[in-house]
Structure formats: structure tokens, C-alpha cells
Amino acid sequence: MVKAVIFDMDGTLIDTEKYYRIFWPMALEHFGYEMTDEQALSMRSLGQPYAPQHLKDMFHDPDMDYNKIRAYRRKIMEEHLEKVGIELKPGAIEILTYLKEKGIHRAISTANDIERAEKYLKKIGLYGYFDKIICAPMVEHGKPAPDVYEFACSELKLEPEECMAVEDSPNGVKSAYSAGCKVVMVPDLTQPDEELKKMLFACVDRIDEIKSIV
């Protein structure tokens, strides 16, 4: 029986993942690097300590200043979001309302820090729907390691098999699967490959379709 649903945030509940695809290459170009679209997609939901090393490996530059590049990416992306706003993914309100009415716990598991996660959730009116907000900086290893989902389950006082994780990216799916959660994927920028499909409890087109499988 599913007692809690743990949601990724970017690309799953809010339509922001597409901006990382735009602003990572822009930030890297600012510092003299050229990032392909495929490389940008590989950064999705990638947490510490994996993201810095991943970038250094991609560009064969062990001295790359990840923190400076990331800070610039966050700055230009935040400036853009202030102008255009943040959009909800289709079905987000519907599924959260349904779960709340059914008494099923709701939590967030995100690569964002707590300040940014709370800011986004409050801005789009979702903050009050969640029992717990779990962020990658709260654990030693971010996604695709299982730490953030294991911590979410412990905070909810539930076993992983009692929790359903909802993700949009390969790194997020791998994290939740490794933690022992039932994983539902709502593809955003890419579809799951054959390896990823083996990790999924289900794959749905819209997030509110989870109502039929909870």
C-alpha cells in the first residue's frame, strides 16, 4: 500500500527543467566553454558531489571552477524566471489535491536548496500541500545516489516500499529506485530508455494520471 508520494520538483511539478537546458550552456559559454544540448540534458537532477565532477570530466578540465559557473547560471536563470514566471506542470494541482483528500502523505525531493525550493513552491501556491521538503544539501550525496529518497522516507517515518517516487529525469529515477521506492516517471525532456524502463513501476504522460495507480 502506498502511504506517501514523494515528488521531484523541477520538470515534474514545475516547468523549469527546460530552463536548465538553456542556461547551463549560456553560463558555460560565458566562461569559455561550449556545451552541447546532450551534455546539458545529462545535468538534470545531478546533485553533489557528482555535478562538479561530471562537468570537469565532460570538458577535460580538472581546474574548472564549478561553483563560479553554477552561481552565474543561477543568477541569469533567476533573472529570467522573474520576468516570465514559473508555470505548473499539467495535473500538478489535481494530483496533490487528490492525495491530500485521500490522506496520503506528500513530500518533495529536490536538488535545490531549501531556500530556493520554498521560494518556488510558495510563489506557485504549492507550499501548503507538502508534509516534508527534502533537499539535496541535507544529505551527503545528491541524485543519482539514493540518499535524498532514503532521508525523505525516514523523515516520513515510512519504509521505502511504502513510498512512491515521481520523477522526470534518469538521475532522479535511479536515485528513487536505488532507495527502494516504487518509481513513476512523467517524462519531460526525454523518454526513458530500455534500462530505465526496468526501474519503473509505471510511466505516465501527465502527473495526475497517478491517481489511477496509487
Region 15-29: what's the mean pLDDT? 94
Q: What is the pLDDT of residue 32?
A: 95
Q: What is the pLDDT of residue 114?
A: 92
- Closest among 89, 77, 82, 79 to 40, alpha carbons compared: 77
The grid coordinates listed for 37 are 544540448
The yes-or-no verdict on residue 94 having pLDDT over 90 is yes
Confidence of residue 127 (pLDDT cuts 50, 70, 90): very high
Region 148-171: what's the mean pLDDT? 96
The yes-or-no verdict on residue 44 having pLDDT over 90 is no
Asked whether 6 and 211 are in contact (CB, 8 A), the reply is: no
Residue 192, classed as helix, strand or coil, is coil
The yes-or-no verdict on residue 175 having pLDDT over 90 is yes
Asked whether 197 and 177 are in contact (CB, 8 A), the reply is: no
Q: What is the pLDDT of residue 71?
A: 94
pLDDT above 90 covers a percentage of the chain that reads 86
Instruction: Tell me the C-alpha distance between 116 and 108, whole Å.
Output: 13
Asked whether 166 and 7 are in contact (CB, 8 A), the reply is: yes
Confidence of residue 112 (pLDDT cuts 50, 70, 90): confident
Q: What is the pLDDT of residue 47?
A: 78
- Closest among 152, 124, 156, 142 to 44, alpha carbons compared: 142
The yes-or-no verdict on residue 98 having pLDDT over 90 is yes
Region 135-156: what's the mean pLDDT? 94
Q: Mapped to the 3 state alphabet, what secondary structure does 6-67 carry?
A: EECCECCCECCHHHHHHHHHHHHHHCCCCCCHHHHHCCCCCCCCHHHHHHHHHCCCCCCCHH
Instruction: Tell me the C-alpha distance between 108 and 90, whole Å.
Output: 17
Write the DSSP symbol of residue 161.
G
Q: What is the tens place of the pLDDT at every residue in 177-212?
A: 999 999 999 999 889 999 999 999 999 999 999 999
Asked whether 117 and 55 are in contact (CB, 8 A), the reply is: no
Strands of 163-167's sheet in order across: 132-135, 105-110, 4-7, 163-167, 182-185, 202-203
Region 157-163: what's the mean pLDDT? 97
Confidence of residue 101 (pLDDT cuts 50, 70, 90): very high
